[in-house]
A = this chain, B = another copy of it.
């Protein structure tokens, strides 16, 4: 159980971004039941995990809306087993497509490098 600054440090994500993600429904912390003097929000390790996932997914071009779908399928949210599976299977397909695109790009860039090394125009 940590406060936002510690979470930000651990995940290496700005506090503002974390607050934005929380407002967007991707993550959520909780206020401590006993405490009434403030409304500080506490986060557990599940949130750290989610942030790690968000970071990776963003890095490969998924939108926050898409990421939210996966996180919702992941961490319950009154969804049926079938609809969760649908979301996850679609993502797996999209991931394979992206891997294919990355491999195609690798080949193209390797060819380009080869051409440059040999002084060809293209």
Interface size, A (range): 35 or more
Contacts of A97 in B (CB 8 A): 59
A116 touching B57, Cβ below 8 Å = no
B70 touching A102, Cβ below 8 Å = no
Which of the segments A9-17, A21-29, A34-42, A88-96 contacts the partner chain? Answer: A88-96
In the complex, the count of this chain's copies comes to 2
Inter-chain CA distance A101–B62, complex, in Å, is 12
From the candidates B62, B106, B108, name the one contacting A53 in the complex (CB within 8 A): B108
B84 touching A116, Cβ below 8 Å = yes
Contacts of A1 in B (CB 8 A): none
Inter-chain CA distance A56–B104, complex, in Å, is 9
A95 touching B85, Cβ below 8 Å = no
A3 at the interface (CB under 8 A from B): no
Inter-chain CA distance A69–B4, complex, in Å, is 37
B109 touching A88, Cβ below 8 Å = yes
Residue contacts A-B, CB under 8 angstroms, 9 given: A56-B105, A59-B97, A61-B62, A73-B116, A88-B116, A92-B110, A95-B105, A98-B102, A99-B99
